[in-house]
Chains A and B, each alone.
Chain A
Amino acid sequence: MQAISRLSLVAFILFSTLPALAETPQQIRQSYTSEAAAQQAGFTASAKRGDTFFRQRFAINDKMPACTSCHMDNPMLAGKHAVTGKDIKPLAPQANADRLSDPAKVEKWFGRNCKEVAGRACTPAEKADFLAFLSEAR
């Protein structure tokens, strides 16, 4: 009994501290990939599809018709907010080590930006593809 409660304590500590640790872009992409594979058997993330998605003109939002309206054409370079003019740091982890290190932050920005630019939530497959594109950008 004592052993079980000790074990559950260890498990509790492990699980409660894990989300606080920084994750790698690969780990974050993997969790979207698994989510996508659950919906679509055999799914693998594609940087090429992510690239296409990045440049797609959704034209839902006048000021931000595409991701590139603010993030510009090259994820290795800084962008500029289309409304406020504020500089936006590069999206690619290779150019900006802070990117794709916090899963909650990644999910928050997919949540906001997909709604705003694509006019809908992005699918796990789109997210996995997009992260593959960013991770491979050099």
Chain B
Amino acid sequence: MKKALLTLLTATLLGTALPVLADRMPLPADTPASYKAECTSCHMAYPPAMLGAADWKKTMSQLETHFGTDAAVDRKIALEIGTFLERNAGSGNRVAGAGNPPRITKTVRFERKHDDIPAKFWRDKRINSPANCEACHQSADKGRFSEHDMLIPELKR
């Protein structure tokens, strides 16, 4: 009886905690200032867990042609950012499928989480690009990507 209760309690805790955890991806405490300084001029500071280590490595090795933009940084900063990204990278199937150049939007997790978003939303002027997390996820900069925390009312659950 005690064991069954414990199992039930564990299952309940897991069941309620996991979806919250999955939508919470704050930047790690050891995020170097250079990551924000260099990357957030054009896009938000994506949580490193959104791509695998090998894909971050690939991304950092081709910054001169970064999605049509020269985003090159000097060697010292590249090393600092690259080390940080690989150390905090995501793993497993969730981050598979990023392609080359690696795109967070091609990963299994991103596609699964967004497979119910109609194409017209992606074309919406307020969104502009799937790279623009903050257009819909209003607390994305704090690492909160919950479907309950949406800026665009039509997308709110």
| Complex Cα–Cα for A116 and B68 (A) | 9
* B1 CB within 8 Å of chain A: no
Residues A81 and B42 in contact, CB atoms below 8 Å apart: yes
Stretch at the interface among B47-55, B127-135, B145-153: B127-135
Residues B128 and A84 in contact, CB atoms below 8 Å apart: yes
| Complex Cα–Cα for A83 and B67 (A) | 9
Q: Quick one: which of A63, A84, A115 contacts B42, CB cutoff 8 A? A: A84
Q: How far is the CB of B119 from chain A (nearest CB, A)?
A: 17
* A42 CB within 8 Å of chain B: no
* B30 CB within 8 Å of chain A: no
CB under 8 Å from chain A, chain B span 84-133: 127-129, 131-132
Q: Write out, one digit per residue, whether chain A residues 78-107 have a CB within 8 A of any chain B CB (1) or not (0).
A: 001101111010000000000000000000
Closest to B128 in A: A85
* A112 CB within 8 Å of chain B: yes
Residues of A within 8 A of B41 (CB): 88, 109
Q: Write out, one digit per residue, whether chain A residues 28-62 have a CB within 8 A of any chain B CB (1) or not (0).
A: 00000000000000000000000000000000000
Q: How far is the CB of B25 from chain A (nearest CB, A)?
A: 18
Closest to A87 in B: B134
Q: How far is the CB of B78 from chain A (nearest CB, A)?
A: 14
Residues B42 and A86 in contact, CB atoms below 8 Å apart: yes
| Complex Cα–Cα for A112 and B135 (A) | 25
* B11 CB within 8 Å of chain A: no
Residues A83 and B129 in contact, CB atoms below 8 Å apart: yes
Q: How far is the CB of B20 from chain A (nearest CB, A)?
A: 27
Residues of B within 8 A of A (CB): 40-44, 67-71, 127-129, 131-132, 134-135
List 24 A-B pairs, Cβ < 8 Å. Answer: A63-B68, A80-B128, A81-B42, A81-B43, A83-B42, A83-B67, A83-B69, A84-B42, A84-B43, A84-B128, A84-B129, A85-B127, A85-B129, A85-B132, A85-B135, A86-B40, A86-B42, A86-B44, A86-B134, A109-B41, A112-B69, A112-B70, A112-B71, A116-B69
